[in-house]
C-alpha cells in the first residue's frame, strides 16, 4: 500500500512538472534585434521615452581619443534611429565644461554640464535642452546653481 502511494506521488509530481514546463503558444516571446554598443562603449543607462522612441545613454572611453556620452534614439521595434555624441570635456563661450549626464524631463531631453570656476572657487552646474528629433543641444547653457568648493578638501 505504501509503495503504491509513493508511486502515485512520484507520477503526480512528474506529470505536474511536464504540464508546467509545456510551452504555451500564447506565452512565447519574440525578441527584437540586439542593441549593440560600439567598441570602447558601455550602454550605461536609460534616459527615458516618449510616444515614439526610447532614449539610452552610453559612455565611451578611449585612450588618445575623445571620451564622452552617446545618446541613442531607438524606436519601439528596437531599431536604432539616431546617435549623438557629447564630449566629456569641451569648451563653449570660453568656459571649460564637463558633461555630467542627460536626463528626461517633461518628455524632453536635458543635458547637465558643470564648470569648475577656479578663480571664484566655485562649482557651477548648467543645463540646456536637447532636440529629441536631431539629438543636438539647443541654445546656450543656463545656470542651475553654484556652490563654493575648497581645493584642499
User: Dihedrals φ, ψ of 149, to 5°?
Assistant: -140, 160
Residue 32 and residue 27: Cα distance in Å, rounded? 16
What is the arithmetic mean of pLDDT over 91-98? 76
| Helix or strand (DSSP H, E) at 53 | strand 53-60
- The pLDDT-based confidence of 108 (bands split at 50, 70, 90) is confident
pLDDT of residue 129: 92
CB count in 10 Å sphere of residue 50? 13
Torsion from C-alpha of 66, 98, 49, 38, nearest 10 degrees? 20
pLDDT in tens, 139-151: 888 999 999 987 6
pLDDT of residue 12: 61
The whole-chain average pLDDT of the chain stands at 76
Amino acid at each position: 500500500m505504501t509503495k503504491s502511494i509513493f508511486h502515485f506521488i512520484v507520477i503526480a509530481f512528474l506529470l505536474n512538472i511536464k504540464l508546467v514546463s509545456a510551452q504555451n503558444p500564447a506565452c512565447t516571446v519574440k525578441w527584437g534585434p540586439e542593441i549593440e554598443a560600439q567598441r570602447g562603449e558601455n550602454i550605461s543607462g536609460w534616459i527615458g521615452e516618449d510616444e515614439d522612441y526610447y532614449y539610452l545613454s552610453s559612455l565611451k572611453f578611449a585612450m588618445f581619443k575623445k571620451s564622452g556620452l552617446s545618446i541613442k534614439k531607438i524606436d519601439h521595434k528596437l531599431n536604432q534611429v539616431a546617435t549623438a555624441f557629447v564630449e566629456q570635456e569641451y569648451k563653449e563661450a570660453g568656459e571649460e565644461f564637463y558633461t555630467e549626464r542627460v536626463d528626461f524631463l517633461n518628455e524632453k531631453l536635458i543635458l547637465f554640464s558643470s564648470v569648475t570656476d577656479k578663480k571664484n572657487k566655485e562649482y557651477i552646474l548648467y543645463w540646456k535642452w536637447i532636440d529629441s528629433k536631431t539629438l543636438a543641444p539647443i541654445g546656450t547653457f543656463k545656470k542651475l546653481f553654484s556652490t563654493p568648493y575648497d581645493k584642499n578638501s
